[in-house]
Amino acid sequence: MSYTLPPLPYADNALDPVISANTLSFHYGKHHQGYCTKYNAAIENTPMADMPLEDVIKQTASDASKKGIFNNAAQIYNHTFYWHSMRKSGGGTPSGKVSDLIKDTWGDFDTFKKEFTDKAGTLFGSGWTWLIKDGSKLAIVQTKDAETPITQGKTPLITIDVWEHAYYLDYQNRRPDYINAFMDKLVNWDFANQNLG
């Protein structure tokens, strides 16, 4: 059975002008779909064709001979998580459980926001920055390329894609402007609270 990419959770112009329909349609339709097409070609007629995506990610994460499968599988997972990490008219300060945990971990929201934007801004090359649950506290982690926190047994709450393809059509080299716009106008705190269960 081949893997079918989940649809975007909103129209491709829903995040415009923060993220344009042009960026979103290329990012989902070419990049995300491209990982899916390569993944399906790689697992065809193997036992992995019948395994849940997350199981394939965990099984291939530390196997250098399966790096191609891992990269495509993890990029499918990471992008689906990223789409849900944003919503139209999102951003700003959270409420609910995630708000309480941010205060427990960082003291206040602004201290959290500074660490998140710094880590997303300073990740060298391509990768992701994540807010995760780690034990009873939260943490912010960077992952390189396709790496994903679920291979470490962590619970991701929110992610931002800082590969250049995520922002270059709208922001060119201004990654910090994209990160600030994500925090101020897009981040979906309801999704973070759902992930806390």
The footprint of Mn ion (CB under 5 A) covers 161, 163, 166
Which residue of this chain has its Cβ atom nearest to Mn ion in the complex? 161
Closest to Mn ion by CB, 3 or 112: 3
Find the shortest distance in angstroms from Cβ 49 to Mn ion: 24
Find the shortest distance in angstroms from Cβ 77 to Mn ion: 12
Closest to Mn ion by CB, 73 or 166: 166
Find the shortest distance in angstroms from Cβ 193 to Mn ion: 24
Find the shortest distance in angstroms from Cβ 163 to Mn ion: 5
Are the beta carbons of 134 and 110 closer than 8 angstroms? Answer: no
Strand partners, 131: 140, 158
Rounded-to-integer distance, Cα 85 and Cα 179, Å:
13
Query: Cα separations (Å) of 101 from 114, 175, 184?
Result: 16, 27, 19
Closest to Mn ion by CB, 12 or 161: 161
Rounded-to-integer distance, Cα 196 and Cα 132, Å:
10
